Structure 1
Amino acid sequence: MALIGEKEFFKGIGDIKFEGRESDNPMAYKFYNPDQVVAGKTMYEHFKFAMAYWHTLCGIGGDPFGPGTKSFPWANATDPIQMAKDKADAAFEFITKMGFGYYCFHDFDLVDEADTLAKSEKRIHILVDYLKQKQEASGVKLLWGTANCFSNPRYMNGAASNPNFDVVAHAGAQVKIALDATIALNGENYVFWGGREGYMSLLNTNMKLEQDNIGRFMNMAKNYARDQGFKGTFFIEPKPMEPTKHQYDFDAATSINFIREYGLENDFKLNIEVNHATLAQHTFQHELQVAANAGMLGSIDANRGDYQNGWDTDQFPNNVLETAEAMLVLLKSGGLQGGGINFDAKTRRNSTDLEDIFLAHIGGADTFARALLVADAVIANSPYEGLLQKRYASFKTEKGSDFIAGKLSLTDLYNHAKGYGEPKQISGKQELYENILNQYI
């Protein structure tokens, strides 16, 4: 049931309901049925869909070639606290009308940053108290919080990786305040995205010191949060570049190595973003699989890039085929560990109606729901799993199982190969696997 404050910002738009694929109502789900059980869990439980505060409520469509094109009714107040409360009212009206259960924020998405750290902290405390009331009234939860340690000019050379200790300390204070807010709001997780934790040129960069400092910083943040009773998971969100030339959290594999190197593996997992995966020249499903293999598949930022544009376009997901491959990874790995699916996506610059925000999220939710249904059907009803098992059947034989168990030496491999002769060529059947997936879409 929609939670509407003193003002209704999305007038004329009611609760978004599931009506099925035959419905011609654009303001209805065609595939996302939150109560439908798939592979032992409801869709609501599989996805834990979340609204991203920044894109949904703060992004007005500006780009390097022109100012914003969108005027939001919750951004008209002159007093920053009142404007922040209006934004919170709009947020919870939107989330509850969508039927989502979660939201995510950066600290200064909630309220504009003030001219001093102390004033900023006071503003955030006021908003936290207000958001507590909204959460209690609606049942909506905080999936994760984070600090924006990349937009302010002070972070032009990085935050935890900054060559100036005073900036590192300021970032630490900002993260403390964001952690306090997350804990106060019963946030389930906390994210670190190193928006400028990287370098533009190695000529003026001490890479080892910078990476070591990030490791120290994250251990400090983790220890502080645990001391305050925070039980949630910390996430690192990989991204290869943009705005920096090379970021230290380049991709899933790099981030996992960082987590292990600095002793964070008991507390940290990954938040995988689709568009960040493609910027790293990987597929989304590859990054999910790398994280899952390490036991670190924590959460997802759902969006997509543009095949012709080499930057982070943050469009809403709409490719069922690619998302179905990702859902295969999700189902086979046991699902997300602590996180959910946050729509870190924005409507296009020329999509200026408030209803466009709803249409975009409806399409994103339906894409993931349809992909989940496809992946479940492929696993349960098709020959896919049998084919995959057959492809690796040689490791179930006596020698193959001994190899897996670590019972063979290199000399044993030599003797086996010498006695066996030339191995026969076995097709990978890639096209068959692709056809099976297509058959269920």
Structure 2
Amino acid sequence: MALIGNKEYYKGIGEIKYEGKDSDNPLAFKYYDSERVVAGKTMREHLKFAVAYWHTFCGVGADPFGPGTQNFPWDQPTDAMDAAKEKADAAFEFITKMGFDYFCFHDFDLIREGTTLGESEKRLSAIVDFIAEKKAASGVKLLWGTANCFSNPRYMNGAATNPDFNVLARAGGQIKLAMDATIALEGENYVFWGGREGYMSLLNTDMKRELDHMGRFLGLARDYARSQGFKGTFFIEPKPMEPMKHQYDFDAATVIGFLHQYGLQDDFKLNLEVNHATLASHTMQHEMAVAAAHGMLGSVDANRGDYQNGWDTDQFPNNINEVTEAMLIFLKAGGLRGGGINFDAKIRRNSTDMDDVFHAHIGGADIFARALLIADRIITSSAYDELIAKRYSSFDSGKGKDFEQGKLSLSALYDIALENGELSLQSGKQELFENIINQYI
């Protein structure tokens, strides 16, 4: 494998290859065989694995109780452009060694933000040119780009929902630049994460006005990107809270209602994150099912939370039962609408060796590949679909079918209820469904 940079950052680690489940090599895939065909597509096509620039190359293990523990060589240069180029070299080395096809970024993951918007624009333009060369040399693609409109203190009261118009305008300028960078790098999608689009207290918040502003702002962003030739999908990423007390993109159902309210449903879909689902007191399966039911299952940020911690821990996925149930919904929905599986996850603060990030991504890829295989076998070889069909069979003919086709009135339902008399109970067979999952795992 040719090195995609001037020097090697992950020394002693070569291309990660598939060796099968019996391999003892910790630097090999046990289940992710990229060219294996499952349900009519290769694993590579189904999963479209992407590396999150922010956690993998920018996150250094800092938390509210202490500074970072991971000292990356690309963070040493004091010059912003030199540091950004070294980070890009390391990023493309890692992505190509993993054998993944995609990466995702926030604007100022790529390079340090400037002291003015004009300086930031110059920096972004320069690093985008450099990364475009690395894309061409490696074949790695951009799954989606986005803008960090939540970290800078100017956004402490929100970006598109900020009560100060001048801050909203600054967010518009920043998102324009992030969209320009995404388009220049041939990004397939663009994501909005409203990290501070919400409130800390309703006492000082005009919620309707802020929601109206966010709806208008997203429409302007869409119109700009389309005017620049962007053909991809716009994603919104739900999260209920943290850092705000309440964020307007609370969960999948809330976002879908918002998109329809402001006429954005034809251009936007959802980028769902596992840890955000659990923070909303949902499962990822629930969020995926809601999005799929509305044709809005766009992309997935793959991670998990810690059930003993009530915050966004962004750990790498490793629960085969949970991921299998999610992949059942994935396959039955026909896959994702434009997006992929982005590892929005970070190694732990006490994981400080350069190879730890490889172990994390290998495990993440394997858990999704294994779950994909299991879900496919459940659908094609078990009674799973038959049992679901049987449960709803009363709607397949007769009066049940008439109801689904809109042929019955409420009075007609009353007449049927009178005629039926008291009903016998119909079991949901929940334990049987759970046993099927365990049997095929």
1:17 aligns with 2:43: no
Q: Which residue of 2 aligns with 1:294?
A: 294
The amino acid that maps onto 2:133 is Q
Q: Which residue of 1 aligns with 2:405?
A: 405
Q: Which residue of 2 aligns with 1:79?
A: 79
- Superposition deviation, residue 417 in structure 1: 1.0
Q: Which residue of 2 aligns with 1:70?
A: 70
Alignment of 1:54-133 (within 5 A): 54-133=54-133
Q: Which residue of 1 aligns with 2:136?
A: 136
Contact persistence 2:240–2:280 (CA under 8 A): yes
The amino acid that maps onto 2:255 is S
Q: Could you give the per-residue CA deviations for residues 291-333 of structure 1, whole angstroms, max 9, x where no partner exists? A: 0001100000000000100000000000010000000000001
* In structure 2, C-alpha distance between the alignment counterparts of 1:2 and 1:243, rounded to whole Å: 42
Structure 1 unaligned regions, length at least 5: none
Alignment of 1:353-364 (within 5 A): 353-364=353-364
* In structure 2, C-alpha distance between the alignment counterparts of 1:117 and 1:136, rounded to whole Å: 28
Contact persistence 2:4–2:138 (CA under 8 A): no
Structure 2 unaligned regions, length at least 5: none
Contact persistence 1:2–1:15 (CA under 8 A): no
- Superposition deviation, residue 3 in structure 1: 3.7
Q: Which residue of 1 aligns with 2:216?
A: 216
Contact persistence 1:2–1:93 (CA under 8 A): no
Secondary structure, in 3 states, of the residue corresponding to 2:249? coil
- Superposition deviation, residue 411 in structure 1: 1.0
1:155 aligns with 2:155: yes
Q: Which residue of 2 aligns with 1:351?
A: 351
Secondary structure, in 3 states, of the residue corresponding to 1:103? strand
* In structure 1, C-alpha distance between the alignment counterparts of 2:396 and 2:106, rounded to whole Å: 49
* In structure 1, C-alpha distance between the alignment counterparts of 2:254 and 2:416, rounded to whole Å: 36
* In structure 2, C-alpha distance between the alignment counterparts of 1:376 and 1:430, rounded to whole Å: 20
Secondary structure, in 3 states, of the residue corresponding to 1:342? strand
Q: Which residue of 1 aligns with 2:278?
A: 278
Secondary structure, in 3 states, of the residue corresponding to 1:354? coil
Contact persistence 2:325–2:375 (CA under 8 A): yes
* In structure 1, C-alpha distance between the alignment counterparts of 2:308 and 2:372, rounded to whole Å: 27
- Superposition deviation, residue 114 in structure 1: 0.9
* In structure 2, C-alpha distance between the alignment counterparts of 1:179 and 1:372, rounded to whole Å: 33
* In structure 1, C-alpha distance between the alignment counterparts of 2:79 and 2:199, rounded to whole Å: 37
* In structure 1, C-alpha distance between the alignment counterparts of 2:364 and 2:3, rounded to whole Å: 22
Secondary structure, in 3 states, of the residue corresponding to 1:255? helix
* In structure 2, C-alpha distance between the alignment counterparts of 1:420 and 1:5, rounded to whole Å: 74
Q: Could you give the per-residue CA deviations for residues 162-211 of structure 1, whole angstroms, max 9, x where no partner exists? A: 00000000000000000000000000000000000000100000001111
Secondary structure, in 3 states, of the residue corresponding to 1:378? helix
Displacement over 4 Å in runs of 4+: none
Q: Which moved more, 1:71-80 or 1:231-240?
A: 71-80
- Superposition deviation, residue 4 in structure 1: 2.9
Q: Could you give the per-residue CA deviations for residues 66-104 of structure 1, whole angstroms, max 9, x where no partner exists? A: 110010111111111010000000000000000000000
* In structure 1, C-alpha distance between the alignment counterparts of 2:409 and 2:78, rounded to whole Å: 74
Q: Which residue of 2 aligns with 1:241?
A: 241
Contact persistence 1:2–1:97 (CA under 8 A): no
Q: Which residue of 2 aligns with 1:389?
A: 389
Secondary structure, in 3 states, of the residue corresponding to 2:355? helix
* In structure 2, C-alpha distance between the alignment counterparts of 1:210 and 1:414, rounded to whole Å: 44
Contact persistence 1:146–1:192 (CA under 8 A): yes
- Superposition deviation, residue 397 in structure 1: 2.4
* In structure 2, C-alpha distance between the alignment counterparts of 1:33 and 1:75, rounded to whole Å: 34
- Superposition deviation, residue 36 in structure 1: 0.4
- Superposition deviation, residue 426 in structure 1: 1.0
* In structure 2, C-alpha distance between the alignment counterparts of 1:173 and 1:209, rounded to whole Å: 21
The 1:3–1:257 alpha-carbon spacing in structure 2 relative to 1, beyond 3 Å, is farther
Secondary structure, in 3 states, of the residue corresponding to 1:387? helix
Q: Which residue of 2 aligns with 1:182?
A: 182
Task: Name the TM-score, length of structure 1 as normaliser.
Answer: 0.99
Q: Which residue of 1 aligns with 2:45?
A: 45
Contact persistence 1:2–1:14 (CA under 8 A): no
Q: Could you give the per-residue CA deviations for residues 384-408 of structure 1, whole angstroms, max 9, x where no partner exists? A: 1111100101001211100110000
The amino acid that maps onto 2:387 is L
* In structure 2, C-alpha distance between the alignment counterparts of 1:389 and 1:351, rounded to whole Å: 47
Q: Which residue of 2 aligns with 1:415?
A: 415
* Aligned sequence identity (%): 71
The amino acid that maps onto 1:305 is G
* In structure 2, C-alpha distance between the alignment counterparts of 1:264 and 1:33, rounded to whole Å: 38
**Root-mean-square deviation (Å):** 0.6
The amino acid that maps onto 1:322 is E
Task: Name the TM-score, length of structure 2 as normaliser.
Answer: 0.99
Q: Which residue of 2 aligns with 1:26?
A: 26
Secondary structure, in 3 states, of the residue corresponding to 2:113? coil
The 1:98–1:70 alpha-carbon spacing in structure 2 relative to 1, beyond 3 Å, is same
Q: Which moved more, 1:1-10 or 1:343-352?
A: 1-10
* In structure 1, C-alpha distance between the alignment counterparts of 2:13 and 2:416, rounded to whole Å: 69
Q: How many residue pairs are counted as aligned between the two chains? A: 441
* In structure 2, C-alpha distance between the alignment counterparts of 1:260 and 1:313, rounded to whole Å: 31
The amino acid that maps onto 1:418 is L
* In structure 2, C-alpha distance between the alignment counterparts of 1:116 and 1:418, rounded to whole Å: 73
1:433 aligns with 2:433: yes
Contact persistence 2:4–2:137 (CA under 8 A): no
The amino acid that maps onto 1:243 is P
The amino acid that maps onto 1:162 is N
Contact persistence 1:128–1:181 (CA under 8 A): yes
The amino acid that maps onto 1:331 is L
- Superposition deviation, residue 231 in structure 1: 0.1
